[in-house]
Chain A
């Protein structure tokens, strides 16, 4: 007889301990017969932020929320996960893309308004913006990390108590700034701190890393304030350290992870950290969970 040990219990994911806060699931991917086959999506508009960073507005009528991502393909060059930086419900999604790879290189060189790229998604949980509408909120974003939180910042800029919403956005230099029009709007609507890591002489804005501005955040009750942190890994690590030092609670800090993702559906394995698939359980994680996720 088979030994008892050999009888495998059908795999059920162990329940996530209830004390770990999780973002609610985002809208499911568009259902197609074969989820690997992308559909063509027309480029409606291209906004140039810098020479190597453009926002591509693509036709998309389905449900999606900020911080989710699409697999974008340029046929014959490849596929890349790109997070959603803007949503016009029922009409389009914005994908802000830096020209750094094979796929993005071909997109920048060979594609213009009216051309079609291939899409599948959206994947991942993304941000539930309703969580950040009330009370004190700090959003910290660095570089292209602004893309996934742009929708969050837009939402809270329209909240009733927008003066309690603090946004620290950092770029490498004044020339690297993205979303200039949005930055101007946000500066009027909420407490925006815009900074650059370094600037040529004569630059009049803030110069310094985003972390420099954390201690001076005018929070009335840091223990209940919520925070969203997205950017390069060192920026996120030091920003979270600063926020904790200021008195924010771990369970009130949310961040978004970037990983290589070939499928977006929990199969290809590239995005795994410990027991987590970033594409399924994230990319937005609570700090209580993510602090134990070691690469």
Chain B
């Protein structure tokens, strides 16, 4: 069911939601950007509509609520291991269509890859619901349309929020509320019932072509060499990515006698040194170019080979955050071009061989 609300009514709705849920939403942090006098949009807990940044895509992803950057798995005290309790109060996450597509990728890895669903992921995931923020126009570096992630998957959200100008010129909020329990909370504060289709992006300035097939010869292609010079292997692209799921185990102890400690899992980056290190000094993919190749292929090819669809959702955060101005979409397009060139060369060789035969 859909509703139209005035701004006051909408503020009341968010206030009422805050009474039932911890609200995890994008927040504009003034002056907290990476450079002097720059801002950043990060997720945080809020209690009112006015705290939420509704119009600009967040710089960091919503995923930290489900996969915290650092998560204690258990404590060691002498011979005992103790799993700490989780905060299992219900959470409502405000996010965009690309993020809801990313959620499917997180679920894929944490719940459906391997023999068992992830114990720690599930115990948070089971308490999280999702509210879609409509996306009327493309934002910086986005290419969601190319990745097919510009529209929220059917049934993926419990309510949506769109800001429009009402017929009287006053700002108005349109909400699609498929969840009956939440509709009961919205309806009394609405000015009208009506069908609502959340706004979604239909065209981005940035467009990518993903390669259908990647020949092994691409591993040795010179398209990766430029990243040896440009990439500083900081891993920011991974940490802002809504679909990156990798983590590393980390043990720490915090008393002088070494009797008390904990095991954590912390966010990992395939771009950062140490990601592949095995005991005794073995390491795979030593150069930035090799790591970039691994990441790009995973996002637009290897994940698809395993799970049937591409991992990248085209949110563009990795491009926006990169301190070296590496454009992920450009990297994907270079890959697609190189694959097409390889395929053409292979066909030419085959035809040449045929002519000689």
A residues within 8 Å of B by Cβ?
1-3, 5-9, 11-14, 28-29, 33-38, 40, 73, 75-80, 98, 100-101, 103-104, 116, 118, 232-233, 258-260, 262-263, 265-270, 272, 274-277, 279-280, 292, 294-295
Taking a contact as CB atoms closer than 8 A, the residue among A36, A38, A103, A270 that contacts B246 in the complex is: A270
Assembly CA distance A36 to B261 (angstroms)? 16
Q: List 5 A-B contacts (CB under 8 A).
A: A7-B153, A76-B76, A266-B109, A277-B114, A294-B219
Taking a contact as CB atoms closer than 8 A, the residue among A2, A11, A29, A265 that contacts B308 in the complex is: A11
Is B119 within 8 A of A78, CB to CB?
no
- Assuming the contacts A100-B280, A294-B219, asked whether A262 and B154 have C-beta atoms less than 8 A apart, the reply is no
Is B114 within 8 A of A266, CB to CB?
yes
**Which residues in A have their C-beta under 8 angstroms from that of B277?**
260
**Which residues in B have their C-beta under 8 angstroms from that of A279?**
114
**Which residues in A have their C-beta under 8 angstroms from that of B270?**
269
CB distance from A202 to the nearest CB of B (A): 29
Range, interface on chain B: 35 or more
Assembly CA distance A80 to B282 (angstroms)? 14
Assembly CA distance A40 to B261 (angstroms)? 16
Is B73 within 8 A of A260, CB to CB?
no
Additional A-B contacts beyond A73-B251, A270-B246 (7; CB < 8 A) = A9-B309, A11-B104, A29-B115, A37-B74, A269-B270, A270-B268, A295-B294
Assembly CA distance A259 to B197 (angstroms)? 47
Is A295 within 8 A of B285, CB to CB?
yes
**Which residues in B have their C-beta under 8 angstroms from that of A267?**
109-110, 113-114, 118, 245, 247
**Which residues in A have their C-beta under 8 angstroms from that of B83?**
34, 37
- Assuming the contacts A29-B115, A79-B249, A269-B246, asked whether A40 and B307 have C-beta atoms less than 8 A apart, the reply is no
Q: Mark B266-306, 1 if CB is under 8 A from A, else 0.
A: 00101000011111111011000010001001100011011
Is B279 within 8 A of A80, CB to CB?
yes
Of chain B, the residue at the smallest CB distance from A100 is B280
Of chain A, the residue at the smallest CB distance from B74 is A37
Is B308 within 8 A of A12, CB to CB?
yes
Taking a contact as CB atoms closer than 8 A, the residue among A8, A35, A40, A101 that contacts B309 in the complex is: A8
Assembly CA distance A101 to B261 (angstroms)? 19
Is A13 within 8 A of B308, CB to CB?
yes
CB distance from A294 to the nearest CB of B (A): 5
Assembly CA distance A177 to B26 (angstroms)? 59
CB distance from B230 to the nearest CB of A (A): 21
Is A13 within 8 A of B306, CB to CB?
yes
**Which residues in B have their C-beta under 8 angstroms from that of A268?**
246-249, 265, 268
Scan residues 148-187 of chain B and give those whose CB is less than 8 A from a CB of chain A: 148-154
Of chain A, the residue at the smallest CB distance from B197 is A1
- Assuming the contacts A2-B154, A34-B83, A280-B114, asked whether A269 and B268 have C-beta atoms less than 8 A apart, the reply is yes
B237 at the interface (CB under 8 A from A): no
Assembly CA distance A104 to B152 (angstroms)? 48
Taking a contact as CB atoms closer than 8 A, the residue among A1, A40, A270 that contacts B248 in the complex is: A270
B residues within 8 Å of A by Cβ?
73-74, 76, 79, 81, 83, 97, 101, 104, 108-110, 112-116, 118-120, 148-154, 197, 216, 219, 245-253, 258, 261, 263, 265, 268, 270, 275-282, 284-285, 290, 294, 297-298, 302-303, 305-309
Of chain B, the residue at the smallest CB distance from A116 is B79
**Which residues in A have their C-beta under 8 angstroms from that of B298?**
272
Is A274 within 8 A of B148, CB to CB?
no
- Closest 3 pairs (CB-CB, A-B): A266-B114, A269-B246, A76-B261
Assembly CA distance A232 to B280 (angstroms)? 11
**Which residues in A have their C-beta under 8 angstroms from that of B275?**
260, 270
**Which residues in B have their C-beta under 8 angstroms from that of A76?**
76, 251-253, 258, 261
CB distance from A18 to the nearest CB of B (A): 16
**Which residues in A have their C-beta under 8 angstroms from that of B110?**
267
Assembly CA distance A75 to B73 (angstroms)? 12
Is A79 within 8 A of B119, CB to CB?
no
Is B151 within 8 A of A3, CB to CB?
yes
Is A100 within 8 A of B251, CB to CB?
no
Taking a contact as CB atoms closer than 8 A, the residue among A8, A78, A104, A265 that contacts B104 in the complex is: A8
Assembly CA distance A6 to B309 (angstroms)? 11
Assembly CA distance A2 to B154 (angstroms)? 8
**Which residues in B have their C-beta under 8 angstroms from that of A232?**
282
**Which residues in B have their C-beta under 8 angstroms from that of A276?**
306
**Which residues in B have their C-beta under 8 angstroms from that of A77?**
251
CB distance from B120 to the nearest CB of A (A): 7
- Assuming the contacts A80-B279, A274-B302, asked whether A295 and B284 have C-beta atoms less than 8 A apart, the reply is yes
Is A3 within 8 A of B148, CB to CB?
yes
CB distance from B119 to the nearest CB of A (A): 5
Is A104 within 8 A of B154, CB to CB?
no
Is A262 within 8 A of B248, CB to CB?
yes
Assembly CA distance A35 to B116 (angstroms)? 9
Taking a contact as CB atoms closer than 8 A, the residue among A14, A28, A36, A277 that contacts B74 in the complex is: A36
CB distance from B244 to the nearest CB of A (A): 8
Assembly CA distance A97 to B267 (angstroms)? 28
Taking a contact as CB atoms closer than 8 A, the residue among B148, B197, B297, B308 that contacts A14 in the complex is: B308
CB distance from B267 to the nearest CB of A (A): 11
CB distance from B200 to the nearest CB of A (A): 8
CB distance from B125 to the nearest CB of A (A): 13
Taking a contact as CB atoms closer than 8 A, the residue among A14, A263, A265 that contacts B306 in the complex is: A14
Is B113 within 8 A of A277, CB to CB?
yes
Assembly CA distance A260 to B116 (angstroms)? 20
Is B251 within 8 A of A14, CB to CB?
no
Assembly CA distance A288 to B1 (angstroms)? 54
Assembly CA distance A233 to B286 (angstroms)? 15
Is B251 within 8 A of A75, CB to CB?
yes
Is A8 within 8 A of B153, CB to CB?
yes
**Which residues in A have their C-beta under 8 angstroms from that of B297?**
274
Of chain B, the residue at the smallest CB distance from A105 is B279
**Which residues in B have their C-beta under 8 angstroms from that of A258?**
278, 282
Taking a contact as CB atoms closer than 8 A, the residue among A7, A79, A233, A259 that contacts B263 in the complex is: A79
Of chain B, the residue at the smallest CB distance from A9 is B308
